[in-house]
Structure 1
Amino acid sequence: MGKWIKIAFLAYLLAFLLIPFQVFANQSTSASETIYVIPVEQTVERGLEAFLERSFKEAEEENADHIILDIDTPGGAVDAAGYIANIINRTDIPVTAFINSEAISAGAYIALNADQIIMVPNGQIGSAGVIDGSGNAADEKVQSLWISRMTTAATENGPDGGRDPAYAEAMANASFDVDGFPSGYLTLNAEQAKEVGYAESIESNLNDVISFLGFDPSSVNVVDSEVSIAEHIARFVTNPIVIPILLSVGSLGLILELYSPGFGIPGIMGISALLLFFFGHMVAGFAGWESLILVVVGVILLGIEMIAPGFGIFGLLGIGLIIAGLFMASFSTTVMVFSVGIALFLTIAAAIILFVFFGDKGPWKRLVLQAQTTSDEGYVTNETEVDLIGQTGKALSILRPAGVALINDKRLDVVSEGSYIEQGRMVKVVYTSGSRIVVRELEQT
């Protein structure tokens, strides 16, 4: 027993002596500097904003020492760039924009909101004019606001109290020129940007950037923030160009399903397009379950209207819920109005064409009366008796103007041309249409 006590005492003593080394090791680990590298690539849109929001949050939770935005973008949506700028300005972590090729338009605005800018030797920054969906310059009010944002970002960020706002205005205003540069939207290469104070350094790669920032590339902990598959989908789906395509495919697929027997490819494509729309917007943080529930309930009401047609109440309510759900899932009312308008136009046009050529096919035929009254079943049709025209007969009753006449030994319901005809007068058939027989009184001799 004494032997085991000695062994336990020695183990305890050894563990106690190792505590300082463990503390030192933990301090060394915690002292390791961390840099988050976040890519800003392709088109700037709201899906990119959601990715940056998540990446900045992770960097803050990990107490990162620095954030490097690896920028290579041709620009994109102005509103998305504004939200991304807010994310950059909210963080207490120093942010460096590393223009790894180009930062054009909205990309230039994002770079100007960073604490400092570093460019590769062939980098470009600028050409930040605002254009609308048709490729034309935006109206004066939007242009004025955008120029103000560009110049404000330039003056409030950068070393030595900010940058010269004149170059930011020249980037966003084609009619504003700065000395030494051609007219039009200003674009600076790396050398020009460094010369005018719009870049602090020109570096060839990320390691050189890390060294310039004062870190040791061999010891610093570099964390590459990667776009997940779901975020890739979200970035694709939330693109303003893709949204109307998805909604059109969704609505057209469901319309085509009405004219095809069973449930096949059109229905699967339609439902898949709508689910993809909601999945992307939910991943990006724009849509919640409530918007999806509204659309599902709307589809169910439309199904009820199709199975048991009534006064259209379920159909109208279903369409209203679907549109409401789409708007709740959208990040922009303008984009959604445009997208829904295109989808409705294409859907109505397709429905008319399909009804004309395939109106008696698929589930749609349940909504159309198919029963026929044939002579084989004892029904008699009201055919126009043209051979009666010109025939004469006698009024068996007073025509006021309707009554009964005997023509070709047949009692027929007739109507005068509007005049009063006494009983027993001779009449002549002047017009027939279906069951309508018009007669005129003959002059008595």
Structure 2
Amino acid sequence: MRAGRWAIGALGVLLVLAGPPSARAASGPAPPGGRVYAVHVRETIDPGLAAIVQGAVRRAEADPAARGLAIVVDTPGGLVQAAEGIRNALLNTRLATVAFVEGRAASAGALVTLAAQRVYMRPGSSIGAAEPIPYSDKAVSYVAGLFQATAEARGRDPRVAAAMVDKSVTIPGVTTGKPLTLTWRQAVSLGIADGEAADLGTALRAAGLGGAEVTWYEPGRGERVARYLTSPWVASLLLLLGVGGLALEMAKPGLGLPGLVGLVSLVAFFASHYLIGTARWLELTLVLLGAALLVIEMFVPGFGVFGVAGAIAVGAGIFLSAPTPGLAATYLAITAVGAVLVLAALARYISRHGMIRWLTLEERLGREQGVVPGRVELAALVGARGVAVTPLRPAGVAVFGDRRVDVVTQGEFVPPGQTVEVILVEGTRVVVRAAGSA
């Protein structure tokens, strides 16, 4: 339980210290031409990247000298929900926004690019191919509408934007029965881009921001760590370790290490999702409540109600913390698989070694002492008093004189250090109770 207290305490410290990133303005005197903040939109667009771009917008808006925000795009796409968060930040900011496509603005990257007031493309770059995966009519309709609304907000042709998502939308002389992908020249000729540019400086000059000082937004350590921990593979591994460790700890209380690994993994999962904004106090409250119920189940074995309620609360917290419903379903599936694997491993162990060896410490003590107390010796312990050296939940170890013996209570929990009395011996089963109890 000490490991559990440390892990829960670590969660509280992380949440206090790793709150939403502050929007501090750049230090130093304001340059004569003002500042333009620039941020890269590279690799896969995920909630971590969305949090970084939103942090750049907040930083720029907090600087009185800021004149604009530039995004440099080269991405194969990513999660629509994450791109929608970036899109909303670009549409709602008071600053001038410029998108410079230096490579690919594919899929979700096209939506981010269309949200900027001015778009410039490097020769050889492309934009489009935003058909949602997995494909469904509902998903296509939603994403196409999102592209159309974004294009209309920036004065661009909504049909061209919709054709990037919906292959049934035809643009004479351009579409080929597939989701639309435009070269830099086609994008300029169709009004999706405002022009071509060899580099970001050229694009800013074309947008009227040539005299501004370019300040690159560098994400903080917390943002970088949060983006890594919230990537689908890492987040899935954290959940697998978390659920597996807690399941093992509940099945064999007192091991310590599995419970610590499980709690720390869940702390990392939820703290990182809190940092990127997909988990808030509702989700964290559900998880803390679920963890508390699971801890109660460890102390009150046999009822099951607390364990089931705790598992439901933790599952709800995981589902609500996921950036998308698809990832939520994946996370829950991984959680279930982790629990099943642990239980299957325990069942296999029990089938090979027997239930008694699993519920008691006979095997370990036999190795430590070289012998296991015989039945005659154990029978002589009736009425003897000793001290619990491990938690009895209900099984554990007590010391009688200089002898360490596996004992079990009648269901009560006895903390280590408590005086216990032997009330019954059945074969090798030694039943004790707290001294003084009825």
TM-score (structure 2 length as normaliser)? 0.68
Describe the superposition over 1:19-68 as per-residue Cα deviations: whole angstroms up to 9, x where unpaired.
xxxxxxxxx94643111112212222222222222211111111311111
Measured in 1, the distance between the counterparts of 2:356 and 2:275 equals 35
Aligned to 2:181: 187
Describe the SS at the equivalent of 1:42: strand
Describe the superposition over 1:127-158 as per-residue Cα deviations: whole angstroms up to 9, x where unpaired.
010112xxxx2x2122112112212322331x
* Change over 3 Å in CA distance of 1:48–1:319 after alignment to 2: same
Counterpart residue type for residue 138 of structure 2: K
Measured in 1, the distance between the counterparts of 2:378 and 2:102 equals 85
Q: Does 2:298 match 1:306?
A: yes
Q: Is the 8 A contact 1:252 1:346 kept in 2?
A: yes
Q: CA deviation at 1:240?
A: 4.4
Aligned pairs for 1:276-315 within 5 A: 276-288=268-280, 291-292=283-284, 294-315=286-307
Aligned to 1:53: 54
Q: Is the 8 A contact 1:261 1:361 kept in 2?
A: no
Measured in 2, the distance between the counterparts of 1:326 and 1:115 equals 37
Q: Is the 8 A contact 2:118 2:207 kept in 1?
A: no
Out of 289-298 and 116-125, give the one that drifted further.
Answer: 289-298
Measured in 2, the distance between the counterparts of 1:43 and 1:364 equals 50
Q: Is the 8 A contact 1:109 1:153 kept in 2?
A: yes
Q: Is the 8 A contact 1:117 1:200 kept in 2?
A: yes
Q: CA deviation at 1:259?
A: 6.0
Describe the SS at the equivalent of 1:73: strand
Aligned to 2:317: 325
Measured in 1, the distance between the counterparts of 2:266 and 2:279 equals 13
Measured in 2, the distance between the counterparts of 1:222 and 1:167 equals 32
Describe the superposition over 1:156-199 as per-residue Cα deviations: whole angstroms up to 9, x where unpaired.
31xxxx22333222211123332333331211121221222222
Q: CA deviation at 1:377?
A: 9.7
Q: Identify which of structures 1 and 2 has the higher relative contact order when contacts are C-alpha pairs closer than 8 Å and 6+ apart.
A: 2
- 1:144 aligned to which of 137, 141, 145: 141
Counterpart residue type for residue 95 of structure 1: T
Q: Does 2:195 match 1:201?
A: yes
Query: Unaligned stretches of 5+ in structure 1?
Result: 1-27, 380-445
Counterpart residue type for residue 235 of structure 2: I
Identity of aligned residues (%): 31
Measured in 2, the distance between the counterparts of 1:308 and 1:147 equals 54
Q: Does 2:164 match 1:171?
A: yes
Q: CA deviation at 1:210?
A: 2.4
Residues matched between the structures, number: 338
Counterpart residue type for residue 335 of structure 2: A
Q: Is the 8 A contact 1:98 1:117 kept in 2?
A: yes
Measured in 2, the distance between the counterparts of 1:197 and 1:168 equals 10
* Change over 3 Å in CA distance of 1:363–1:199 after alignment to 2: farther
Q: Does 2:85 match 1:83?
A: yes
* Change over 3 Å in CA distance of 1:155–1:316 after alignment to 2: closer
Measured in 1, the distance between the counterparts of 2:37 and 2:378 equals 86
Which aligned segments of 4 or more residues in structure 1 are displaced greater than 6 angstroms? Answer: 361-364, 367-370, 374-379
Measured in 2, the distance between the counterparts of 1:42 and 1:146 equals 21
Q: CA deviation at 1:98?
A: 0.7
Counterpart residue type for residue 203 of structure 1: A
Aligned to 2:240: 248
Q: Is the 8 A contact 1:67 1:94 kept in 2?
A: yes
Measured in 2, the distance between the counterparts of 1:368 and 1:300 equals 27
Aligned to 1:225: 217
Aligned to 1:68: 70
Counterpart residue type for residue 82 of structure 2: A
Measured in 2, the distance between the counterparts of 1:272 and 1:333 equals 25
Aligned to 1:341: 333
* Change over 3 Å in CA distance of 1:377–1:239 after alignment to 2: same
Out of 86-95 and 312-321, give the one that drifted further.
Answer: 312-321
Describe the SS at the equivalent of 1:214: coil
Q: CA deviation at 1:368?
A: 11
Q: CA deviation at 1:313?
A: 2.6
Counterpart residue type for residue 149 of structure 2: T
Describe the SS at the equivalent of 1:122: coil
Q: CA deviation at 1:200?
A: 1.6
Aligned to 1:263: 256
Q: Is the 8 A contact 1:259 1:362 kept in 2?
A: no
